[in-house]
Structure 1
Amino acid sequence: MNRCFIALGLITIWIVGLAGCGCEHKKEEVKMLQKLAISTETSLYPEAGFTKGVSGAFGGALGEWTIYGGGCNFPDKGPSEGGTKKYYRSVYGLRDGETSRIGELVAPIAYGTSIPSSDGKRLYFVGGSDGTKAYDTIHEVTAEGVKLLDTKLPTGWFEGSGAYSGDSLYLAGGWVADGVPMDSLVQVNIKTGEHHTLAALPDGARIQCVNFVLDGYFYIFGGHRPAVGLEQPPYMHEKAYRISIHAESPQWELVAERPTLENGRKLLFVGSTVAVEPTTKQVYVVGGVDWEVFEPAIMRGFNKAIATKEGNQALLDRYAEEGKAYMSMKEEDYHFMPHIIRFIPETNGWEIVATDNALATAGAVLAVSPEAATVIGGERKPGVRTFNAWRQIL
């Protein structure tokens, strides 16, 4: 087992708040964001390119361990320059200032979902894609290693989200194959492999939604519905719902019309990562794309398809230039969400726990313990990943 030491740097952040009529100032210490300087020693990472950072990786917390692995990136050059996306399979664990390779996935894959068991002693890495096919695999991960389970999903699946309750996984959103979305909530028993559909998803398919289970309810937030041919354009999901996973005839209940943070940011959750802390049952989310930037980008693809059918070269040229401009923007112009946020069950809303540009990622790993949240990797802009890791004291 390869090991290397991790240096830990601390960044203390302070804010100044206004009190009373604004004539008096009060200084308040915000809990620390710590940067984990992970070694890039090649002997630790058998897959070349991994240390350039990945997105769409698997990961989570297992006691004192932070687990991460798999994922994908463009190690040589970006997609706008004709770069090739590379997928990875190794899985690593971070603990006590050291990192170790603890196992590997069945294949180099990304864009699956990571789900902790109810007791927090196991992680399930579910589904994923290698760019050519969707995987129906379930990996069980402990601090001792990675095990491929005999239980399979009813179909390949990726870019969805899921949760664990009892002996079952609850999965929703995403794709079952390239261009074929999964538009239902599916229950899969880990022990027996039995599976069945609980309900169709509210308002149609959801790609890259955020899901979790609390108090017997399965919640679904955000995501986008892909275009249906040239008849129905892509749709950004505003409404959030929950459904009882124990009811004989479960029905979706609306819990939020338009989830919005206190700073006015609309929550789309595409590219966000969700994690449930097993002890406290607190739900956290980090990162994600910006609604106002993402919506016109995804609509451009739909409009381009229409222009192609109509043979409108002028429009095609315009969309091509807009696409180049989009891919060449600075990181800060994509406005990825720079927050860790926490779900408030009493109001079905979200509150900001931490804010820093370092958290402005898409497809990062989020591992949460009662004391801290660790964020590893992710995309900083289309085609550009980071290998940085951050630990936020909660």
Structure 2
Amino acid sequence: MIMLLSATAWKRLPDVPDERGFAGSFAGVSGGSLIVAGGTHFIDKMPWEGGTKLWYDTVYALDKPDGEWRPLGKLPKPNGYGVSITTPEGLIIIGGGNATDHYTDVFWLGQDDKKLPPLPKPCAFMSGCLLDGVIYVAGGIETPTATAAMGTFWSLDLKQPNAAWQELPPCPGKPRILACMAGAEGAVHLFSGAALSAGPDGKPLREWLKDAWRYLPSKGWEKLPDMPRVSVAAPNPAPVIDSKIFVIGGDDGALVNFEPKSKHPGFPRSILTFDVKTQEWSQAGEVPFSLVTTNAVIWKDQVVVPGGEARPGVRSPQVWAAPLK
């Protein structure tokens, strides 16, 4: 049995050392330690009360599952809602932004001597994954006030010393933000997310998507069976175990207009599984937490979900982990 499908297999690790927690943080593994960096939360009021979202540059490290978080410097600037990629050489931070700007920056966390080329355009709220030493990044928005998602699909080959970002054919589906991505069995997989359009007030409206796609570097894009449900902002990149991709929770949009917002019950806790070989979806298992706009990190033979948004506007410092097998 794959352990993470059982709610009882998930255990709490030490909380991120901020009582409110963060959404949109970067997270991964560097030097053998679990890293959580940047992100946002509200400190005065909730967003529906006119609260102000604050961006952070703090970096924390956890050296062992029963240890204590320690400060590990700061990001170059406050940042959130970009892409985190863990490689054997460390953690790569890609794009993101703050309240007024989105970034093109791409860098190895804590390794100033290793430079990486910037993104072709500023980008946040995108998704990304690693496949065979190549980073892939899809979608997102170019500015904080954008009312349309980017249809971009970029790659960076880490195996090439002087590589530059390549613009690849975009996904044939609608441009989107907050999709779920995974690299598995020689293909990039792209699931769900939200398309954007301008509402009557000029603010972005979301269209909730449950389509699924894969990109084969040798062939291009192929349509996959639709997901059983929408899963926006599920932990990324989605973990892959035994040729199966696990989409953990995510926002299905069913309660987007729930009132009162202060009583929102949280996001779906079910786990969707995509079998890469049979190309079949199943819904089996659940998690004991409700966390979106966060990461799924493989660390010390566990899948770790460090913090995130527990319900609209509310962050969580909780860190959850389940054995890979």
Q: What TM-score, normalized by structure 1, do the two folds share?
A: 0.70
Find the counterpart in structure 2 of residue 331 from structure 1. 264
CA RMSD of aligned residues (A): 3.0
Higher helix share: 1
CA deviation digits over 1:157-181, x for unaligned, max 9?
A: 1111112235532111111223152
Runs of 5+ consecutive residues of structure 1 not aligned to the other structure: 1-12, 14-28, 41-49, 261-265, 298-321
1:289 maps to amino acid:
D
Residue 275 of structure 1 contacts residue 368 of structure 1 at CA under 8 Å; is this kept in 2?
A: no
Name the structure 1 match of 2:248: 286
1:242 paired to 2:214: yes
**Contact 1:274 1:283 (8 Å CA) reproduced:** no
2:24 partner amino acid: G
Q: CA deviation at 1:369?
A: 3.7
Following the alignment from structure 2 to structure 1, what is the Cα–Cα distance between the partners of residues 30 and 307? 18
1:26-37 equivalences under 5 Å are 32-37=9-14
Contact 1:72 1:110 in 2 (8 A): yes
Following the alignment from structure 2 to structure 1, what is the Cα–Cα distance between the partners of residues 285 and 322? 8
Q: Secondary structure at the match of 1:275?
A: coil
Q: Aligned to 2:197, what secondary structure does the other structure show?
A: coil
Structure label with greater radius of gyration: 1
The residue aligned with 1:393 is 323
1:91/1:382 CA distance change after superposition, 3 Å: same
2:304 is matched with 374
* Whole-angstrom CA distance in 2 between matches of 1:219 and 1:348: 11
Change in CA separation of 1:351 and 1:103 when aligned onto 2, cut-off 3 Å = farther
The AA in structure 2 aligned to 1:331 is H
Aligned residue type for 2:213? Y
Identify the residue that residue 34 of structure 2 maps to in structure 1: 66
5 Å-filtered alignment, 1:67-86, equals 67-86=35-54
Q: What residue is the counterpart of 1:253 in the other structure?
A: 222
- Counterparts of 1:58-137 in structure 2, within 5 Å, are 58-62=26-30, 64-96=32-64, 97-117=67-87, 120-137=88-105
Distance change (3 Å), C-alpha of 1:218 and 1:85: same
Q: Spell out the pairing of 1:216-227 with structure 2 (5 A cutoff).
A: 216-227=186-197
Distance 1:276 1:61 in 2: 15
State the distance in 2 between where 1:57 and 1:30 align: 24
Q: CA separation of 1:233/1:91 partners in 2, compared to 1, >3 Å: closer, same or farther? A: closer
Report which structure shows greater RCO (CA 8 Å, sep ≥6).
2
Structure-2 change in CA distance of 1:350 and 1:170 (3 Å): same
State the 1:74 CA deviation.
0.1
Q: Structure 1 residues 259 and 278 mapped into 2: Cα distance closer, same or farther (>3 Å)?
A: closer
Q: 1:164 aligns with which of 124, 130, 141?
A: 130
Task: Give, in whole Å, the separation in 1 of the partners of 2:89 and 2:295.
Answer: 18
Q: Where does structure 2 lack aligned partners over 5 or more consecutive residues?
A: none
Distance 1:223 1:83, change over 3 A: same
Question: Quick one: which amino acid aligns to residue 380 of structure 1?
Answer: A
Give the aligned partner of residue 192 of structure 1. 162
How far does the alpha carbon of each residue in 1:53-91 deviate from its partner, in whole angstroms, 9 at most, with x for none?
110111024575221111000022211222111111122
Q: CA 1:365–1:169 in structure 2 vs 1: closer, same or farther (change >3 Å)?
A: closer
Q: 1:360, CA displacement in angstroms?
A: 1.0
Q: Distance between the aligned counterparts of 2:118 and 2:151, measured in 1?
A: 19
Pair 1:183–1:114, CA change in 2 (3 A): same
Tell whether the 8 Å contact from 1:103 to 1:146 is kept in structure 2 after alignment: no
Cross-structure match for 2:232 = 270
TM-score relative to the length of structure 2: 0.84
**How is 1:142-153 mapped onto 2 (pairs within 5 angstroms)?**
145=110, 147=112, 149-153=115-119
**Residue 387 (structure 1) shift:** 0.8
- Count of paired positions: 311
Cα distance in structure 1, aligned partners of 2:287 and 2:7:
12
